[in-house]
Amino acid sequence: MNLTKRFLQAVFAVVFAVSTLVIAAAPASAASHTVKMGADNGMLVFEPNNLEVSAGDTVSWAINKMPPHNVVFDDSKAPDAALAKAMSNTKMMFAAGDTYDVTIPADATPGTYTYFCSPHRGAGMIGKLTIK
């Protein structure tokens, strides 16, 4: 009987240790963020124009006002030029509610990535995406 009790205690200890490790290793839940393309008042801006995200988060750029718009990352100044190119959408979007979504990869290089709307860059339609 003593051997059975010890065996059960050992099994319980192993199960407890493994479940603790699994819970501790579980990733934080990813967040979703929306960036308006064109302000409600008609200004040619991204709202918000500065956004902080983590790996796994999804950013959705949505046409709000004054299309056409796109999302082009400046790969020449980005912490990771390849990621900046991969996150860019040079295709114009025209209809209110159209969206362009990017999920930040798990291996994304942290830092600040500057992006712009190519037809409205001169008007100041520039944003920053900071990956933590």
> Backbone phi, then psi, for 45, in 5-degree steps?
-145, 165
Catalytic residue (choose from 37, 66, 87, 125): 125
Catalytic residue (choose from 37, 87, 93, 117): 117
Q: Are 78 and 114 in contact (CB under 8 A)?
A: yes
Nearest CA to 91 among 114, 113, 68?
68
The owner of tokens 């240790």 is 17
Q: Is 117 a residue of the active site?
A: yes
Catalytic residue (choose from 37, 69, 87, 93): 69
Q: Is 69 a residue of the active site?
A: yes
Catalytic residue (choose from 37, 66, 93, 120): 120
Q: Is 120 a residue of the active site?
A: yes
Which positions are catalytic? 69, 117, 120, 125
